[in-house]
Amino acid sequence: MTCRPEVLDPRLPGSFQPLGVARRVVVVKRKHGERFDRWKWDGDLVGTAGRGWRVVRHVRGRDERRLLAAGDAEPLATLTLRWLGIHSPATIVVKCDESGAILEVKVDAALPVPFRRGRFVFTDLDVDVVRDAAGAVHVRDWDTFESRVELLGYTAASRAVAVAGEAFGLVVLAAWEPTLAADVASILALAPAPGAVSVSEGGAAWLRRAGSLDAGGGASVLWSVAEGRRGRRWRSVRRDAAGALLSDLLLEVDPEGRWTRLELASAEGILTLHPEPAATAVHGNLVTERGVLPLAFAWSPQHRLVVEGEPVAAVALAPMMPLGRGPALLVTAQLEVVAHADLAAPAAAGDALPGPSWPLEG
């Protein structure tokens, strides 16, 4: 991933929020400029911590650590927790002993972490900010960074991310203390939910859940999500206070979290949208009593898809939704699709579930 300091969003993690069910994932570590994996850790994606933060749990004796390239890796603690930022200049590692006491908190300067096909890939930039068990905080490995400028191809942009990572780490270790212990305790209290997941051919956990949520004003939403090799399929129906159907949604996303198909039906008609394979255009149609209206819009990775009044769509789209404001397609409650040059992304936690849920499979 290219170092782009201008796209960083170094906000602090929020309070830990568990997912409806833990999901088996792999965390991969690389060095700057490398396309091969140095280390891999198996683990569970157990929750989020505010917008852009995902939390992974590694348990010694169950989760394998694989050293794939030359070098030394520190031993795995009894419990290792990772806060992975998809827009931040650092990742956070918390190591705990058998009793759950925090042994060390380390903030690694790193590029923002993408999540693709069940893998988090973080690119380490050498510089660390560490707080040990005694509470002492120190910055280390700038000398290592300087010695590897030519070897790893560090640029002025990557140096700027490392500087931002150091500053972010110092702020995290100063400001996070009041809630960190509570977050760790919440994660320690988590237990696997029997029957909550299905297992893929490769052994990874696939998300299969359904649930309901209060949409306000007496309205309610029933929803389900089923994950497989092609990604996730989200379904939802929204009803008013009297139980009348307001909308019926189908939204499909690929294994990397990018949407591939939207179908939305209401009293206004039936809307279908899908991005072209090259991701340069969106096509579809709107079926109403007046006939069929073909639709075509420009599209890019910087675009946002916003579906008005559909909370399940907001959750499903959040993992790959660009931050802040920018170009967007807005689907209104009347099924009108409007192109905007500057529209804010809705607030929704990536990889969270919309509300209370139960397993689809027993």
User: Given this model, what pLDDT does residue 214 score?
Assistant: 86
How is 68-89 classified by DSSP, letter by letter?
A: -SSS--PPPPSEEEEEEESSSS
Q: Which domains does the chain have, with CATH numbers?
A: 5-188 (2.40.380.10), 206-359 (no CATH)
Residues 296-300 have a mean pLDDT of 95
Local structure of 357: helix, strand or coil:
strand
Q: Concatenated DSSP letters for 290-336?
A: TEEEEEEEE--TT-EEEETT-HHHHHHHGGGPPSSEEEEEEE-TTS-
**pLDDT for 141-191, tens place per residue?**
999 999 999 888 888 988 999 999 999 999 988 887 667 888 888 888 875
Of 91-105, 236-250, 261-275, which gets the smallest average pLDDT? Answer: 91-105
Tell me the mean pLDDT in the region 348-362: 64
| 272 pLDDT higher than 90 | yes
In this predicted structure, what is the pLDDT of residue 78? 81
C-alpha to C-alpha distances, 178 to 172, 173, 218, nearest whole angstrom: 11, 10, 37
What pLDDT score was predicted for residue 1? 44
What confidence category does residue 21 fall into, taking pLDDT thresholds of 50, 70 and 90?
confident
pLDDT band at 276 (very low <50, low <70, confident <90, very high): very high
Nearest to 220 by CA among 348, 122, 312, 353: 312
Contact between 269 and 285 (Cβ < 8 Å): no
As a whole number of angstroms, the distance between CA 134 and CA 139 comes to 15
CA 225 to chain CA mean position, Å: 16
What is the phi/psi pair of residue 236, to 5°? -155, 150
Residue 263 predicted with pLDDT over 90: yes
Give pLDDT, residue 197.
Answer: 38
Measured distance between the N- and C-terminal CA atoms of the chain, rounded to whole angstroms: 40
Per-residue pLDDT, averaged over 26-54, amounts to 85
- pLDDT, tens digit (0-9, with 9 covering 90-100), for 195-212: 333 444 444 456 788 888
262-273: average pLDDT: 96
- The confidence score (pLDDT) of residue 352 equals 60
* Mean pLDDT along residues 13-35: 83
Per-residue confidence (pLDDT) for residue 206, from 0 to 100: 67
Q: What is the mean pLDDT of residues 319-325?
A: 77
pLDDT value of residue 134: 84
Q: How much is the pLDDT for 97? A: 83
Q: Report residue 64's pLDDT band, with 50, 70 and 90 as the boundaries.
A: low
User: What does pLDDT average to over the chain?
Assistant: 83
